[in-house]
Amino acid sequence: MFLFITSNIIFIYYAKLGNLSDTFYSLNSDRNAQSAGNLCIFTHVEYKKGSSETIRGNTYDLFKLNFAYFFKEEFKQDDNWLSWFVGFLEGDGAILEHKGRSYFVLTQKDDIVLHQIYEVLKIGEVKDFYDKKGNRKYSRYIVSDNKGIFLLYLLLNGNLVLQSRVNQLSKWYIALTNASRFHYSLFCTNELPKKIETLKEPSLKDAWLSGFTDAEGCFSVKIGNAKVSFYVSMLFILDQKYEEKVLNKIGSLFTANKKAVLRTSKKIVLNDMFRLTFYCNDKKKIVSSKIINYFNLYKLKTTKKESFRIWTEIIHIVLNKQPLSDYDLNRVRKLRHNMNYFTIQNLPKGQANKS
């Protein structure tokens, strides 16, 4: 028997002595029967802290253990990949429910990242959509079966940052609770864990912001004419509907008192769409250094990673060197032109509440 404790949750493994992989792979020939020779997991424990309360372990333990039980192999990616995926999902994914059926849809022009997600998670499918001339317009990663939705629910529950996403997850909780054909015997978990209402805080110590930036972020270079000299402005931008508080928390990670503002278009305020803008021309390079260090550590996975690479190259040309020489200004213009190509490749195609 192995006893594993993580952040106030206890996992008990009953396994044969020997290779630890037996813990994950020891299954009866009849998967519907669980015995002392199989992996057993408690989805929650009663924890004494003044009074009894039901809690869940931190990060992604329940998801990984149930993934291993169902697919007969250990989940191959680390927690940073999972936190990146949750951020990407919160930015661009659609958590849907219709007539008691749950769906997840993630739409992108960049189909490569969708295929990578499918290969890692092993659930759902990727579908391509074409125009009348046969050219691929965009692709969708779709999960619609209860087994896949259940694994996604375990992955998201307690790890979401946006309140709107927690609200949407309630639909999955109700649908899974009422799903008469869903058999928990396929998994370690013998019941559906209760939905966790607590929001996870955005941080520079995991990859959530990297995934969220892949979905909703933009690295921008603006060239303006300041009197007789051209001035290059370096910006990092995040957009999100409704989530002003979360954007403000992200802003405080990089600089004090940074606030999101309502987006406007031609002097018209867009409906509840907030924008957080970092101006990265600070002479002390504090903001730009924090941004560059973060994304060098937690790397972007869409074509936006190429935009960031070029953006970083331009920063090294312009910071504390303006007004630029004609030579450097031409270098910046060429680099920005190449950067725009990757930005177009990553334009969002889906909506959070639509497929």
pLDDT per position as a tens digit, 46-76: 323 333 233 344 579 999 999 999 999 999 9
Locate 26 and state its tokens.
């020891």
pLDDT of residue 67: 96
pLDDT of residue 181: 78
Average pLDDT on 181-200 reads 88
Q: Where are the domains of the chain?
A: 58-186, 208-234+278-345
Judged against a pLDDT cut of 50, whether residue 33 lies above it is answered with: no
Question: Is pLDDT of 231 > 80?
Answer: yes
Specify the higher pLDDT residue, 339 or 39. Answer: 339
CATH of 58-186 among 3.40.190.10, 3.30.565.10, 3.10.28.10, 1.10.274.10? 3.10.28.10
* Positive or negative torsion for Cα 7, 10, 11, 14: positive
Same fold: 58-186 with 208-234+278-345: yes
pLDDT at 41 over 60: no
Mean pLDDT across the stretch 283-289?
90
Is 174's pLDDT higher than 90?
A: yes
pLDDT recorded at residue 26: 34
Distances (CA, A) of 65 to 23, 94, 145, 151, 304: 10, 25, 19, 10, 32
Distance CA 31, CA 187 (A): 9
Q: How confident is the model at residue 187 (pLDDT cuts 50, 70, 90)?
A: confident
Q: What integer is the mean pLDDT of 135-163?
A: 96
pLDDT of 191 > 80? The answer is yes
User: Tell me, what's the pLDDT at 227?
Assistant: 66
For the stretch 232-281, pLDDT in tens is 999 999 999 889 999 999 999 999 889 999 887 665 556 789 999 999 99
Q: Which helix (H) or strand (E) holds 47?
A: strand 45-49
Q: What is the pLDDT of residue 345?
A: 58
CB 37 within 8 A of CB 25: no
Lowest mean pLDDT among 159-163, 166-170, 228-232, 326-330: 228-232
Residue 37 pLDDT class (50, 70, 90 cuts): very low
Quick one: average pLDDT of 332-341? Answer: 89
Listed residue (111, 226, 108, 93) closest to 162, CA to CA = 93
The class (CATH top level) of 208-234+278-345 is alpha beta
pLDDT at 28 over 60: no
DSSP 325: P
Tokens representing residue 261 in the block: 């503002």
Lowest mean pLDDT among 28-32, 83-87, 318-322: 28-32
Average pLDDT, the chain: 82
pLDDT at site 308:
96
Q: What is the pTM of this model?
A: 0.81
Task: Tell me the two tokens of residue 146.
Answer: 């209860």
Query: What pLDDT shows up at residue 3?
Result: 41
Give the span between the Cα atoms of 101 and 172, in whole angstroms.
8
pLDDT of residue 189: 80
pLDDT tens profile 90-125: 999 999 999 989 999 999 998 999 999 999 999 999
Of all residues in the chain, the percent with pLDDT exceeding 90 is 64
Q: What pLDDT score does 344 carry?
A: 63
> Looking at residue 188, what is its pLDDT?
85
